Amino acid sequence: MNVRIACIRRAGRLAPALVLTVGLALAAGCSGGDPPQNNNNVNNTSDRCPAGYLLVPKGTFTMGVDAEDLAGLDITWSPEMGPAHRVTLTADFCMSKTEVTVAEYRQCRSTGACTGEGPWPVEQDDRCNFSETDHSRDSHPVNCLTYEQAREHCQAQGGDLPTEAQWIRAAQGDDRRHFAWGGSEPDCSHANYDANGSGGTEPNGLGCAETQTPPFTWATGSAPAGASPYGLVDMTGNVAEYVHGCGAWFQACDGELGCVDPQPTGCDGDPYRLSLGGSASTYRLNLFSFLRGADTYDRSPDVGMRCVQAPKNR
């Protein structure tokens, strides 16, 4: 059986519709060689970052894939996946190790730094994790919030949402790995995905929670085997994560450094926002790091955030 990924364009915006029929050999890497099978994570204890953040180094890497990069994966290439192009980030950055939790967001509200009505609470939608009074999901990622609320929280911490380039850099490092943890086939030690088993039977996934009852998310950091090259956890699954700006077609840039410090794309009133990494409802084979995130309306239970900050100078 084959895996086919079909992407559609909705109102001029990226809207990947992932159509998956399963039976996949994950042997070939996007770089043409065998992908790493293990995390091989950097021992990331830099004192240049605040507590709860890890350092992601500057550098030149490849974003996106071309059709020939998918050899052996039996996946149909689409324009939203590429073209593969070089990107250079000229500055190190710090990224929160985990997704922002309910407790962290509530603290921001208690100080007055996060304003407005806040996320939809669990009392309004039981798929949402936030509550002013119920602390049972404090360690779960905050979800059901708007893009503006997510940016406000990150800015209150002294940073912002990551750009798409920063997020991809943090997730895949230098080796164009299939998944944040490497090239080995995903299982529930790597990520919380397909939570209620809606993806069907093996090998597409029986579901990590196999439940029809919320919460579908896990406490952040519950799948340490899925850490990225820099030790960031939950880059795949649990909740997808807002990135700064809106999605646009990849633009390949000339020169050895390629696109240097690409800036977020303006939204121009578009109600959709780009999110990356997949969620608890993501099917098993929707977890490739080169798949661009689906657009989402605000307040989705499938979307949360993590933040970036500039590191201290040495």
Residue 305 makes CB contacts below 8 A (sequence gap 6+) with 99, 100, 142, 145, 150, 153, 154, 161, 241, 242
pLDDT at 25 over 50: no
Task: Write the Ramachandran bin of 73: left for phi over 0, alpha for psi from -120 to 50, otherwise beta.
Answer: alpha
pTM of the model: 0.85
* pLDDT for residue 272: 81
Look at strands 273-276 and 259-260 and give their pairing.
unpaired
Residue 202, Cα to own-chain centre: how many angstroms? 24
Q: Which of 307, 308, 172 is nearest to 229 (CA)?
A: 172
- Whether 6 has a pLDDT exceeding 80, the answer reads no
Domain ranges of the chain: 1-314
Report pLDDT for 199.
58
Q: Which of 30 and 196 is assigned the larger pLDDT?
A: 196
Choose which CATH entry (1.10.3720.10, 3.30.565.10, 3.90.1580.10, 3.40.50.150) describes domain 1-314.
3.90.1580.10
Q: What is the pLDDT of residue 47?
A: 86
pLDDT tens-digit readout, 78-123: 888 889 999 999 999 999 999 999 999 999 999 999 998 899 999 9
**Which amino acid is it at 31?**
S
Confidence (pLDDT) at 314: 73
Q: What are phi and psi of 165, to 5 degrees?
A: -65, -40
**The pLDDT value given to residue 208:** 85
Q: What's residue 37's pLDDT? A: 45
DSSP strand pairing (93-96 vs 295-296): unpaired
Give tens-digit pLDDT for 281-301: 888 767 888 887 666 668 999
Closest CA to 163 of 312, 287, 14, 308: 308
Give the pLDDT confidence score for residue 32 in this predicted structure: 36
294 or 252, greater pLDDT: 252
What pLDDT, on a 0 to 100 scale, did the predictor assign at position 236? 92
pLDDT confidence of residue 33: 37
* Average per-residue pLDDT for the chain: 82
The residues facing 93 across adjacent strands are 56
Residue that wins the pLDDT comparison between 51 and 70:
51
